[in-house]
């Protein structure tokens, strides 16, 4: 079953791009936490190796086999999420972590893979040009269950990162464009009016902390301000590696996680940002390109939803740190410090590579 | 297994659209980044600099003050203080509570102290406790990490080695008030800075104040210092040499011990002040540390008014001292000559009212010099009846009364010389000739400061040349010696009377010093009516209800020192004030005998 040809088809350039971006992240995590006695860098290195290992292992298994187990996987993950709600350890006010010795994993991240796989399996049989109401209900339900369980943890930030998966499914499955636009407009209006008129201050405060657990006592205004100062003061070429005053003197909050891009902007300037965006876009392009060559519908779904998920996380973070999007605790895939986020990102891309390398398998 | 080829063009096209969209969005976002990072770079750069840099003043030591023999009267000593940087405070109330417990200051008072500087930029340190003891310094230093908002600073602190000596002259320092900071932006005072609030410290504050240095340091988000960026060393304030003779000063203060009063001595040739003692005094060192409100009240409400600089702020009737001016006026206007005599029978009736001499048996017939010697009231009543009040006021003004002497000391009072105009204006009444009779012996509405009397005496000693009293030596050109328009000959008669008063068993005999031709005049100001005084005497109570004055100079020819003494409730002038002046003359002679022609 394991054809040698398959291995020649492993997409080494995508893997290389992933590792490269992760290493750039590591370099700036090192800079960001330099004055803190911590093991961030070592830990992240271990996570990187672990992720790489799991990526390669996952490539051994045909994604079609994974698809056939997807329902089971989905059920399992939701059971874990449910279990967490009752027996999970409270870490930073949420029950979203499973603690394994020095490492922590966030099952709600891993669940995204299960959701994507299940959607791909179900919609691989769905060949209509227009999305039916039934398809709408089924896909919403599949995404809605883990979102609901995650929101109860309560981890609103992670719950919201599921939305690209759902919207992407609507789009691919052929929901009329006007409905998609309607959904976007309605959710914007509900968000806007709900926030400004519906909620009381303490409720907003509570939601803010849920969306953004690393928030400073001085409020998200402080974070955004410091982030913009860091990026703006970096200028064209930056203040130099390890010389960013905003990050080194700790004015910038969550430097090694949510605001790692601000550290990059400060220390290597606009040119650095441009370079990172360039590499990242190249990488995202590779992911999307897989959809173009996928042999089957399930493969298109897998590659598209994974690529969209990573793209959206990157975009939101990239907008958030200069104030174009509300501050929510969304890290940059591969760049930010965070083990389970890195692992899940690697596994997601593993699925995409898996699709790509098996496009000729049966010819 | 046969492969079923599906038509995937639709989904692939959709994926392609999203990819293109992604590219466009990233491109637009890069434009935003270009705006922030390149176009608005300088704005954010400044904000980042403001974040990381903190400017702190390095206090410059104040200039020293020393007397004419280079005795240091105001010095500096290092002192530790702890300041709070509000910028670094995260939770205000919590920090207040912690600090209050840690430093042992009442939380309300601590809050007030900080609130006072609310208007200052938050990065400026506010002093919350100074004069720290060494163990306090150690405990703050040890808990640096726990209190990143606190800073320990060493600052040169004013120190007066002789405590209350010459306190009124030197003045005291206090923390600059919020109002003063706001109303004097050009002085660039910073919160907690000590500035002169009285005396020479106030008068010469700008001269004594150095130029603060500047320290720019890097700080982290909690305000903890993370290294020095630049430093400009402070420049010391300039030293101030004053004309005071501290030996005489100490002597004068010793003589005033336990009394309320003042001793002023000056060199009539230049106006240089040699002694400036005011009693009771205060210790200016106590003002350097921040008072608790209670301490303040106890000083302000003290019955003896220790803060009052009596030499220039105490207003007293001149009493018989004013007879000097009456004598000069009478001679200069030609109302009498040196030989004119009047008869004193112990009292005289004028305008239907009886005016008594202090010596009930009467002095008999006497001329001007004798009248001054015995301070005969009747003689001067006679002058008062013959001279218009406005003429008297004119001469009093020429001799420096009723106006500031212009000494280099803040807060001087003018005193009061009444005239017909004055009465009309302020009381709305016409002047009665009978009132002139009281003025003739220095009673009535007359009010003078002891320094005015000293200045007047200097003018007499100079035979009609007025000097302006001073505490800091001026260049010859700046000194004023101004003729007041009375012939020097006229002074000789008055001086003769003053000489006899001291040397020939007159009222001023207490100031007699063998070998030193002291000339002087006593004064006693009645504070209660004569009837009350008599009643008290009958009851056998000691009668000391008058202020005791003496003013004089020495030697008679070529005068070198003027001494003016006022003792509140000191009794008759000859009784208390004159002997004190005598002691000063004595010490002056002993000290300068070798150097000067005495």
Q: What is the CATH number of the domain that holds B395?
A: 3.40.710.10
Beta-carbon separation of B32 and A277 below 8 A: no
d(Cα B499, Cα B519) in Å, to the nearest integer?
4
Closest CB to B48: pick one of A171, A174, A229.
A229
DSSP assignment letter at B66: E
Domain membership of residue A363 (yes or no) is no
Domain membership of residue B46 (yes or no) is no
Beta-carbon separation of A233 and B48 below 8 A: yes
Which residue has better confidence, A298 or A95?
A: A298
Q: Which long-range contacts (CB under 8 A, 24 or more apart) does B216-221 make?
A: B216/B53, B216/B54, B216/B55, B216/B56, B217/B53, B217/B54, B217/B56, B218/A245, B218/A249, B218/B52, B218/B53, B218/B54, B219/A249, B219/B52, B219/B53, B219/B54, B219/B88, B220/A249, B220/A250, B220/A251, B221/A249, B221/A250, B221/A251, B221/B51
Beta-carbon separation of B91 and A217 below 8 A: yes
Looking at the fold, whether B434 and B573 belong to one and the same domain comes out as: yes
Question: Rounded mean pLDDT of chain B?
Answer: 87
d(Cα A162, Cα A151) in Å, to the nearest integer?
11
Distance from CA of B81 to the nearest CA of A (A): 26
Both tokens of A204, joined, read 């907003």
Domain membership of residue A200 (yes or no) is yes
| ipTM score assigned to the predicted complex | 0.93
pLDDT at A363: 46
Chain A's closest residue to B24, CA to CA, is A281
Looking at the fold, whether B130 and B207 belong to one and the same domain comes out as: yes
Looking at the fold, whether B181 and B327 belong to one and the same domain comes out as: no
d(Cα B88, Cα B234) in Å, to the nearest integer?
26
pLDDT category, A280, cuts 50, 70, 90? Answer: very high
Both tokens of A61, joined, read 């298994």
Beta-carbon separation of A291 and B11 below 8 A: yes
pLDDT at B160: 93
A218 touching B (Cβ < 8 Å)? yes
d(Cα B152, Cα B273) in Å, to the nearest integer?
42
Radius of gyration of chain B from its Cα atoms, rounded to whole angstroms? 36
Distance from CA of A355 to the nearest CA of B (A): 14
pLDDT category, A51, cuts 50, 70, 90? Answer: very high
Domain membership of residue A362 (yes or no) is no
Looking at the fold, whether B86 and B179 belong to one and the same domain comes out as: yes
A217 touching B (Cβ < 8 Å)? yes
What is the sign of the dihedral through the CA atoms of B214, B220, B224 and B227?
negative
Looking at the fold, whether B227 and B261 belong to one and the same domain comes out as: no
Domain membership of residue A98 (yes or no) is yes
Domain membership of residue A222 (yes or no) is yes
Extract the residue ranges of chain B whose pLDDT is less than 50: 1-3
pLDDT at A220: 61
Q: How many domains does chain A have?
A: 1
pLDDT category, A55, cuts 50, 70, 90? Answer: very high
d(Cα B502, Cα B272) in Å, to the nearest integer?
24
- Please give the sequence-ordered ranges of beta strands (E in DSSP) within B131-219, or none if there are none: 150-159, 173-175, 194-196, 213-219
A222 touching B (Cβ < 8 Å)? no
Find the domain containing B251 and state its range: 246-282+309-592
Which residues of chain A have a CB within 8 Å of the CB of B221?
A: 249-251
pLDDT at B4: 54
Domain membership of residue A279 (yes or no) is yes
Looking at the fold, whether B373 and B498 belong to one and the same domain comes out as: yes
Looking at the fold, whether B163 and B264 belong to one and the same domain comes out as: no
Domain membership of residue B25 (yes or no) is no
Domain membership of residue A171 (yes or no) is yes
Beta-carbon separation of B51 and A231 below 8 A: no
B19 touching A (Cβ < 8 Å)? yes
Which residues of chain B have a CB within 8 Å of the CB of A285?
A: 19
Residues in a beta bridge with B548: B524, B567
Looking at the fold, whether B220 and B329 belong to one and the same domain comes out as: no
Looking at the fold, whether B328 and B405 belong to one and the same domain comes out as: yes
d(Cα A259, Cα B41) in Å, to the nearest integer?
19
Q: Is the pLDDT of residue A144 over 70?
A: yes
Domain membership of residue B32 (yes or no) is no
Burial status of residue B21 (CB atoms within 10 A of its CB: 0-12, 13-18, 19 or more): exposed
Residue A297 · residue A123 · CB < 8 Å: yes
DSSP assignment letter at B185: G
pLDDT at A360: 74
Looking at the fold, whether B273 and B418 belong to one and the same domain comes out as: yes
pLDDT at B105: 79
Looking at the fold, whether B256 and B233 belong to one and the same domain comes out as: no
Q: Is the pLDDT of residue A214 over 80?
A: no
pLDDT category, A210, cuts 50, 70, 90? Answer: low
B33 touching A (Cβ < 8 Å)? yes
pLDDT at B352: 87
Beta-carbon separation of A232 and B3 below 8 A: no
Three-class SS of residue B550? strand
CB-facing half-sphere around the CA of B138: CA atoms within 13 A: 3
Number of helices followed by number of strands (H, E) in chain B? 23, 21
Q: How many domains does chain B have?
A: 2
Closest CB to A249: pick one of B1, B23, B226.
B226
d(Cα B265, Cα B529) in Å, to the nearest integer?
32
A129 touching B (Cβ < 8 Å)? yes
Domain membership of residue B365 (yes or no) is yes
The residue from B226, B241, B256 where one domain ends is: B241
Which residues of chain B have a CB within 8 Å of the CB of A311?
A: 18, 22
Domain membership of residue A339 (yes or no) is yes
Domain membership of residue B316 (yes or no) is yes
B163 touching A (Cβ < 8 Å)? no
Domain membership of residue B26 (yes or no) is no
pLDDT at B463: 94
Find the domain containing A89 and state its range: 4-357
> Which segment, A127-131, A271-275, B108-112, B535-539, is predicted with the most confidence on average?
A271-275
Mean pLDDT of the region A19-36: 91
Beta-carbon separation of B37 and A265 below 8 A: yes
Give contacts of A 53-72 with B, CB under 8 A.
Answer: none
Distance from CA of A73 to the nearest CA of B (A): 26
Which residue has better confidence, A203 or A133?
A: A133
The owner of tokens 């009212």 is: B353
Looking at the fold, whether B178 and B67 belong to one and the same domain comes out as: yes
- Please give the sequence-ordered ranges of beta strands (E in DSSP) within B257-369, or none if there are none: 261-266, 273-279, 342-344, 347-350, 353-356, 364-366
Burial status of residue A96 (CB atoms within 10 A of its CB: 0-12, 13-18, 19 or more): buried
* Statement: the pTM of the whole predicted model exceeds 0.80: no
A-B interface: how many C-beta pairs under 8 angstroms? 139
Domain membership of residue B218 (yes or no) is yes
Give contacts of A 165-194 with B, CB under 8 A.
Answer: 168, 171-172, 174
Beta-carbon separation of A249 and B29 below 8 A: no
pLDDT category, A36, cuts 50, 70, 90? Answer: confident
The residue from B186, B221, B241 where one domain ends is: B241
Which residues of chain A have a CB within 8 Å of the CB of B10?
A: 129, 174
Mean pLDDT of the region A28-43: 85
Domain membership of residue B42 (yes or no) is no
A232 touching B (Cβ < 8 Å)? yes
Q: Before A144, cis peptide (omega within 30)?
A: no
Which residues of chain A have a CB within 8 Å of the CB of B19?
A: 284-285, 288
């Amino acid at each position: 079953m394991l054809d040698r040809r398959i291995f020649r088809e492993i997409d080494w350039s995508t893997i290389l791009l992933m590792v490269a971006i992760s290493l750039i992240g590591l370099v700036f995590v090192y800079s960001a936490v330099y004055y803190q006695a911590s093991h961030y860098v070592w830990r992240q290195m271990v996570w990187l190796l672990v992720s790489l290992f799991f990526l390669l292992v996952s490539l051994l298994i045909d994604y079609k086999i994974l698809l056939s187990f997807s329902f089971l996987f989905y059920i399992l993950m939701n059971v874990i999420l449910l279990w967490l709600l009752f027996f999970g350890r409270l870490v930073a006010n949420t029950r979203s972590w499973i603690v394994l010795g020095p490492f922590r994993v966030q099952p709600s991240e891993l669940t995204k893979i299960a959701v994507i796989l299940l959607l791909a399996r179900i919609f691989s049989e769905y060949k209509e040009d227009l999305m039916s109401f039934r398809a709408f209900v089924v896909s919403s339900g599949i995404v809605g269950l883990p979102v609901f369980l995650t929101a109860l943890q309560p981890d609103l930030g992670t719950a919201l990162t599921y939305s690209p998966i759902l919207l992407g499914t609507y789009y691919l499955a052929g929901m009329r464009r006007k409905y998609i636009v309607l959904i976007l407009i309605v959710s914007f209006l509900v968000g806007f009016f709900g926030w400004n008129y519906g909620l009381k201050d303490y409720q907003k405060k509570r939601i803010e902390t849920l969306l953004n657990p690393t928030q400073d006592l001085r409020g998200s205004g402080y974070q955004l301000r410091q982030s913009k100062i860091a990026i703006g003061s970096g200028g064209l070429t930056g203040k130099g590696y390890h010389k960013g005053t905003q990050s080194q003197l700790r004015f910038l909050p969550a430097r090694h996680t949510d605001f790692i891009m601000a550290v990059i902007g400060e220390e290597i300037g606009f040119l650095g940002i441009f370079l990172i965006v360039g590499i990242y876009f190249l990488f995202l392009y590779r992911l999307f390109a897989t959809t173009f060559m996928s042999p089957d519908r399930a493969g298109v779904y897998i590659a598209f939803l994974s690529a969209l998920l990573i793209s959206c996380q990157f975009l939101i973070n990239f907008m958030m740190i200069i104030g174009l999007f509300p501050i929510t605790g969304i890290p940059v895939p591969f760049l930010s410090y965070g083990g389970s986020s890195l692992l899940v990102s690697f596994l997601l891309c593993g699925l995409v590579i898996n699709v790509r390398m098996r496009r000729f398998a049966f010819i | 297994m046969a492969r079923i080829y599906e038509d995937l063009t639709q989904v692939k096209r959709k994926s392609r659209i999203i990819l293109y969209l992604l590219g466009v969005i990233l491109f637009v976002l890069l434009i935003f980044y270009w705006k922030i990072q390149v176009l608005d770079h300088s704005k954010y750069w400044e904000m980042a600099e403001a974040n990381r840099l903190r400017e702190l003043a390095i206090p410059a030591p104040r200039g020293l003050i020393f007397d004419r023999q280079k005795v240091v009267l105001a010095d500096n000593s290092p002192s530790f203080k702890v300041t709070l940087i509000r910028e670094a405070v995260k939770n205000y109330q919590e920090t207040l509570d912690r600090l209050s417990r840690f430093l042992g200051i009442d939380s309300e008072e601590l809050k007030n102290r900080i609130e006072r500087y609310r208007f200052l930029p938050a990065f400026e340190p506010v002093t919350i406790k100074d004069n720290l003891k060494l163990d306090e310094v150690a405990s703050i230093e040890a808990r640096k990490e726990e209190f990143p908002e606190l800073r320990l600073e060493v600052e040169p602190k004013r120190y007066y080695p002789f405590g209350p000596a010459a306190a009124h002259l030197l003045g005291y320092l206090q923390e600059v008030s919020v109002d003063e900071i706001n109303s004097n932006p050009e002085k660039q005072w910073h919160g907690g800075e000590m500035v002169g609030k009285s005396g020479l410290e106030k008068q010469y504050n700008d001269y004594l104040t150095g130029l603060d240095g500047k320290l720019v340091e890097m700080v982290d988000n909690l305000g903890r210092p993370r290294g020095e960026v630049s430093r400009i060393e402070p420049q010391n304030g300039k030293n101030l040499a004053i004309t005071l003779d501290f030996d005489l000063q100490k002597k004068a203060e010793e003589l005033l011990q336990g009394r309320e009063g003042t001793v002023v001595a000056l060199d009539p040739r230049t106006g240089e002040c040699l002694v400036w003692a005011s009693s009771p005094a205060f210790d200016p060192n106590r003002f350097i540390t921040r008072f608790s409100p209670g301490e303040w009240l106890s000083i302000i409400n003290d019955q003896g008014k220790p803060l009052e600089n009596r030499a220039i702020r105490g207003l007293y009737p001149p009493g018989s001292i004013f007879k000097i001016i009456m004598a000069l006026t009478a001679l200069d206007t030609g109302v009498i000559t040196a030989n004119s005599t009047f008869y004193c029978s112990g009292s005289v009736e004028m305008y239907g009212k009886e005016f008594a001499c202090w010596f009930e048996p009467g002095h008999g017939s006497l001329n001007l010099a004798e009248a001054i010697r015995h301070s005969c009231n009747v003689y001067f009543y006679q002058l008062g009846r013959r001279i218009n009040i406005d003429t008297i006021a004119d001469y009093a003004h020429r001799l420096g009364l009723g106006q500031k002497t212009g000494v280099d000391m803040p807060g001087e009072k003018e005193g009061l010389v009444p005239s017909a105009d004055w009465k009309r204006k302020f009381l709305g009444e016409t002047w009665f000739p009978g009132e002139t009779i009281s003025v003739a012996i220095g009673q009535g509405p007359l009010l003078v400061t002891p320094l005015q009397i000293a200045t007047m005496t200097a003018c007499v000693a100079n035979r009609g040349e007025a000097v302006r009293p001073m505490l800091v030596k001026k260049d010859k050109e700046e000194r004023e010696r101004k003729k007041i328009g009375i012939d020097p000959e006229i002074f000789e008669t008055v001086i003769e009377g003053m000489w006899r008063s001291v040397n020939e068993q007159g009222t001023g005999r207490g100031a007699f010093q063998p070998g030193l031709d002291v000339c002087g005049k006593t004064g006693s100001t009645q504070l209660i009516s004569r009837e009350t005084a008599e009643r008290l005497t009958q009851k056998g109570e000691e009668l000391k209800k008058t202020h005791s004055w003496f003013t004089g100079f020495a030697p008679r020819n070529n005068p070198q020192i003027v001494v003016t003494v006022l003792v509140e409730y000191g009794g008759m002038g000859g009784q208390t004030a004159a002997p004190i002046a005598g002691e000063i003359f004595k010490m002056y002679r002993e000290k300068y005998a070798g150097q000067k022609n005495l």
